[in-house]
Amino acid sequence: MIKKLAYGIVALAIAVSCTSPKANTETFEAGKLLDYAVTKTSATMNSLHAADSLPRNIYSTQTEWNKVGIHDWTSGFWPGILWYAYEASGSQDILENAKEYTEALKGILDVPVDNHDLGFMLYCSMGNGNRLIENEEYKNFLLVTADSLATLYNPKVGTILSWPVMVEQMNWPHNTIIDNMINLELLFWAAKNGGDQRLYDIAVKHAETCMNTLIRPDYSTYHVAVFDTIDGHFMKGVTHQGYADSSMWARGQGWGIYGYTMTYRETGDKRFLDVAMKLADKFLERLPEDGIPYWDFDDPAIPEAPKDASAACVASSGMLELSTLLTDEKLKARYKNAAVKMLRILSTDQYLANDKNQAFLLHSTGHHPNGSEIDASIIYADYYYLEALLRLKKINENGTL
């Protein structure tokens, strides 16, 4: 039985301005928003009854989370939110819930590995848990998870296969998506914590190959890179969740910023830092005047196209870390201030769910071409929003993460 925490939803008045050009992003306070996120996390926690039934989305006509099972690619985000909420609050009730929801995810490896999302599913959850409470059982399970993810690596191509199902379904012999950059963190972690050096080498080679294929000359990104499996050559760049093969899908650009920043942190290779900065610059260059991206920067329906708050959350979190890895003070300020500006806008009544539903945020877009999760609250938007707030708090207090 999931332990309950008797918090009521409280209305938090957050006085922030997102329109004044004189607004000083350095004064943005993460504390009140962290309180808001912890309170809403506790309320959702109280409404759940099974640790293998996990929040995924809330549509505009709904107030409560729609649930998925542990094998959904988003399954790690709710446990991850619980770990972050515990980090922010120190609540023992939240900690107990984080442990219970994380425990349920162990069944993920009971079936054959059929996608690249093990990092999202288990590093965002169990990885955060191990970071906070140093659990030997978590550590060992993560090492097995990293080895499982590595089974999808094709050395001839130089990347991890993202979607085995798409090999026949879309005639993509070997496909790799920009999202996959996030899962490399699991491999880097494992190589430092008792895993084989090969895991580090796979992660580096994957990042190198994607740098030369998924990233276009103008530093926008393809969603999917398709490779030949005979000699491993890059065949084409296409989209799956973006507007068109040639367009810039907003969340994909965010995954790139986040992923290459993390890869530089783990390797110290300046090539990856340069790419992370150029991806971030491209994202910022294309942002609309109101500061939050549309789901795809090239949708011809703009300005009537839906927004994607999740893309802003991922990019903000990535840029905050990027700012800590730079030595040039102007560049540090550029990326930190850009991230804070997006967080400031996300933290207004336009984007905060407040008492409208159980989520932290409104107005994310999941899979627009498929007609799913359009203008919805989505669990990974909340996860990266909370992560970004925690990162900002640490940077403001310590100057680093």
Q: Does residue 170 belong to any structural domain of this protein?
A: yes
Q: Give me the domain span that covers residue 222.
A: 25-398
Q: Does residue 9 belong to any structural domain of this protein?
A: no
Q: Does residue 30 belong to any structural domain of this protein?
A: yes
Q: Report, as residue numbers or ranges, the catalytic residues.
A: 117, 179
Please check whether residue 165 is in contact with residue 114, taking contact to mean a CB–CB distance below 8 angstroms. yes
Q: What is the mean pLDDT of each run of 10 residues along the chain (401 residues)?
A: 39 38 56 97 96 97 98 98 98 98 97 94 98 97 98 98 96 98 98 98 98 98 98 98 98 98 98 98 98 98 98 98 98 98 98 98 98 98 98 94 93
Torsion of CA 88, 92, 96, 101, to 10 degrees: -20
Q: Does residue 289 belong to any structural domain of this protein?
A: yes
pLDDT of residue 19: 37
Q: Does residue 1 belong to any structural domain of this protein?
A: no
The letter for the amino acid at 127 is: G
Q: Does residue 58 belong to any structural domain of this protein?
A: yes
Nearest residue to 164 via CA among 31, 156, 179, 173: 173
pLDDT of residue 335: 98
pLDDT of residue 27: 62
Residue with tokens 């985000």: 77
- How far is Cα 206 from Cα 115, in angstroms, rounded to an integer? 15
Sheet holding 174-177, edge to edge: 174-177, 224-227, 234-238
Say whether 99 sits in a helix, a strand or coil.
helix
Please check whether residue 211 is in contact with residue 264, taking contact to mean a CB–CB distance below 8 angstroms. no
Q: Does residue 375 belong to any structural domain of this protein?
A: yes
Q: Is the peptide bond preceding residue 288 cis, with omega within 30 degrees of 0?
A: no
Exposure class string for 235-256: b at 16+ Cβ within 10 A, else e:
eebbbbbbbeeebbbbbbbbbb
At 237, which CATH number? 1.50.10.10
The answer for residues whose C-beta is within 8 angstroms of residue 12's C-beta and 6 or more apart is 32, 35, 36, 39, 354
- How far is Cα 264 from Cα 329, in angstroms, rounded to an integer? 18
Handedness of CA 256, 259, 263, 264 (dihedral sign): positive
Residue with tokens 């995924």: 56
Please check whether residue 139 is in contact with residue 150, taking contact to mean a CB–CB distance below 8 angstroms. no
The DSSP element (H or E) to which 236 belongs, if any, is strand 234-238
Nearest residue to 236 via CA among 169, 151, 164, 170: 170
Work out how many domains the chain is built from and give that number. Answer: 1
Residue with tokens 């599913």: 121
- How far is Cα 19 from Cα 40, in angstroms, rounded to an integer? 27
Q: Does residue 214 belong to any structural domain of this protein?
A: yes
φ and ψ of 62, to 5 deg? -115, 165
CB neighbours of residue 10 within 10 Å: 12
Handedness of CA 130, 136, 142, 147 (dihedral sign): positive
